[in-house]
Amino acid sequence: MEKLFQRLFPDHLIANPHYRSLARNMLLIIISVSMVPMIVVSSTLYLQFRHSYREKVNDHLSELVLKHKQNIDNFLQERLTDIRLMAARNGYERLKDEVLLKRNLELLQQEYGSVFVDLGVVDADGRQEAYAGPFKLARADYADADWFKQALKHDQVISDVFLGLRGLPHFIVAVHSVENGRPWILRATIDFVYFNNLVDNIRIGSTGMAFILNREGKLQTTPGARPSMSGPPESAVLQGLWIVMSAGTGDVRIVLREDSRGVENIYAGAFLKSGKWLLIYQQSAEDAFADLHWSFMLTTLIMAVGMASIVLMAFTLSRMVVIRTARADEEKKLMNQKMVETGKLASIGELAAGVAHEINNPVAIMVEEAGWMGDLLEETEFQESKNLAEFKRALAQIQTQGRRCKDITHKLLSFARKTAATVQEVQINLLIEDLIALSAQRTKFSMVEVRTELTEGLPMVRVSISELQQVFLNLINNAIDAMGNKGGRLTLSTRAHDGFVVIDVADTGSGIPAANLNRIFDPFFSTKAVGKGAGLGLSICYGIINKLGGRIEVESTVDVGTRFSVYIPAALGD
């Protein structure tokens, strides 16, 4: 986060804790406000969809299993009916005739194909009286066979799958009849392969398979091997299934189970054969819910893209806002500075004027008193005093310093004065030329080369000539002072700019250090030696130009030079 911040936001902004927290807060708010609803909506929709989709899949499986359960039940029931019919029609005695039995088997095989493998007539003791079929099972003894015991007790029986005497998996349907008071049993072997196919043909998707379990959890059919199948069902799972399915309700019961390899399977089961067998349909959950999986992936992808764009947008937006804010702050700061500057100068001006005025009178009195003492010293009685010269010198000094005070107070007052002196329309170029003539003596003395670049046809300005002379004489004097003894070049140029007449006073002097640049207009700010300048020149210039509705701009590079640009509003052409 921090790194991303640094890469996305300009260094100088992010270094500022104010902007950093602004950016961070905005980022977090945007991200949370947009992401939370998106996540809530997406996950709610997804969960709802998953729920109904699962329901749909379950319903589908239930129906499928139910249908097949009925099919299989019907199949078994029909086979029983077949042989019951045969037993009833022929009777024990006739069926004992192996030729007739064989004839009957052929009839059945004609009707149903290879469903019936063989037929046998078994007497009450379990001995097979007659047999028709491919195996040599005549006279076989079934007295101990499970199915035989069942058949004696019940009307009819369908056995579990077993290997039996022939050594092949098969199961038996048998009907119990009574003739002449003796029970006898007609049994038929159902082709295991045929039956197996009947069950195994129930297939959906790539992992679906069906099989039948008995009460002990043993497979009654062999699920056909298929390339995509996860392998034969595990016996541990199968045993558990019987219990789970028994506990369920309804025709079809559905459970989810994980096998030892961690594959989650969905099992749909229905009891067959009056609850003795369990038809199970198994499919891996992943396969069954493949569409769900897809929609989950799609949702996740859309969410990821959405989140990425939200984050991107949040960054871009907060970056933009922070940059804008910073710019606005900067402008505000500049403006405040300017206002403070103006306000400061105005209040300093008033203060200075007040002080100047209050000081002026005492100074005047002191000067007059000193003058009076000087007058008195002229009297003859003092002429002999040995300190006469010293007295005179001291009084002269008082007068000189008094005059200095007067100069300062007068300058201060002119800095602060508000109303204009005689204002008239002036062509600035003429004024500049006059000024150059005025200061020619000084510039020559200081070895300063004066250049002018005056633009012709400038608008007139409404000013007081004397005030403007004061401004430019101050600027020119400063420029000459800045160039010192070495001399240099003073360039005075005039131009029009955006409703203003601009006069540039540029020198090649020592320049003003950046630290001093914003103080140069302050009253009493001076870098000249004590007594050389009161530090009021530029303050007065500022006051005068400000009053005219103009401004003064400074550009300065140390050791290269300084340029003052004085902006005076052009007079409207009336």
Residues near another protein (CB under 8 A) are: 357, 360-361, 363-365, 367-369, 371-372, 375, 402-403, 406, 410-411, 413-414, 417, 419, 421
> Shortest gap between Cβ of 417 and another protein (angstroms)?
6
Parallel, antiparallel, or unpaired: how do β-strands 182-190 and 171-179 relate? antiparallel
b or e along 271-301 (b: 16 or more beta carbons within 10 Å of the residue's beta carbon)?
Answer: bbbeeebbbbbbbbbbbbbeebeebeeeeee
**Which of 462, 464, 461 is CA-nearest to residue 422?**
464
CA distances from 448 to 89, 148, 359, 485 (A): 148, 140, 38, 9
**Which of 417, 505, 426, 439 is CA-nearest to residue 465?**
426
3-state secondary structure of 109: helix
> Shortest gap between Cβ of 371 and another protein (angstroms)?
5
| Shorter beta-carbon distance to another protein: residue 198 or 538 | 538
Strand partners, 278: 213, 271
Place of tokens 């606005």: 328
Parallel, antiparallel, or unpaired: how do β-strands 116-123 and 128-132 relate? antiparallel
Lookup: tokens for 163: 């290997």
Strands (E), 274-409: 277-284
> Shortest gap between Cβ of 349 and another protein (angstroms)?
13
> Shortest gap between Cβ of 536 and another protein (angstroms)?
12
In the 8-state DSSP scheme, what is residue 454? Answer: E
> Shortest gap between Cβ of 346 and another protein (angstroms)?
18
**CA geometry: angle 88, 93, 94, nearest 5 deg:** 70
Strand partners, 128: 122
> Shortest gap between Cβ of 362 and another protein (angstroms)?
8
In the 8-state DSSP scheme, what is residue 546? Answer: H
In the 8-state DSSP scheme, what is residue 170? Answer: B
Instruction: Give 67's contacts (C-beta < 8 A, 6+ positions apart).
Output: none
Q: Contact at 8 Å (CB) between 212 and 197?
A: no
| Shorter beta-carbon distance to another protein: residue 308 or 376 | 376
| Shorter beta-carbon distance to another protein: residue 31 or 359 | 359
Alpha-carbon gap, residue 533 to 525, rounded angstroms: 9
> Shortest gap between Cβ of 466 and another protein (angstroms)?
9
Instruction: Give 409's contacts (C-beta < 8 A, 6+ positions apart).
Output: 356, 357, 359, 360, 363
Which amino acid type is present at position 173? V
Alpha-carbon gap, residue 393 to 405, rounded angstroms: 18
| Shorter beta-carbon distance to another protein: residue 406 or 551 | 406
Place of tokens 């039940």: 73
| Shorter beta-carbon distance to another protein: residue 378 or 456 | 378
Alpha-carbon gap, residue 397 to 533, rounded angstroms: 19
> Shortest gap between Cβ of 351 and another protein (angstroms)?
16
> Shortest gap between Cβ of 552 and another protein (angstroms)?
21
| Shorter beta-carbon distance to another protein: residue 346 or 436 | 346
| Shorter beta-carbon distance to another protein: residue 125 or 369 | 369
Alpha-carbon gap, residue 451 to 459, rounded angstroms: 22
> Shortest gap between Cβ of 353 and another protein (angstroms)?
9
> Shortest gap between Cβ of 25 and another protein (angstroms)?
57
| Shorter beta-carbon distance to another protein: residue 358 or 553 | 358
| Shorter beta-carbon distance to another protein: residue 28 or 376 | 376
**Which of 316, 287, 91, 124 is CA-nearest to residue 206?**
287
Dihedral Cα 455, 459, 463, 465, nearest 10 deg: 40
| Shorter beta-carbon distance to another protein: residue 177 or 414 | 414
Helix ranges (DSSP H) in 452-527: 465-483, 514-517
Torsion over CA: 197, 203, 206, 212 (sign)? negative
| Shorter beta-carbon distance to another protein: residue 240 or 374 | 374
| Shorter beta-carbon distance to another protein: residue 100 or 366 | 366
> Shortest gap between Cβ of 555 and another protein (angstroms)?
31
| Shorter beta-carbon distance to another protein: residue 210 or 353 | 353
Instruction: Give 451's contacts (C-beta < 8 A, 6+ positions apart).
Output: 489, 490, 491, 492
> Shortest gap between Cβ of 524 and another protein (angstroms)?
17
> Shortest gap between Cβ of 363 and another protein (angstroms)?
6
| Shorter beta-carbon distance to another protein: residue 269 or 349 | 349
3-state secondary structure of 68: helix
> Shortest gap between Cβ of 477 and another protein (angstroms)?
19
How long, in residues, is the chain? 574
| Shorter beta-carbon distance to another protein: residue 223 or 402 | 402
Which amino acid type is present at position 414? S
In the 8-state DSSP scheme, what is residue 263? Answer: -
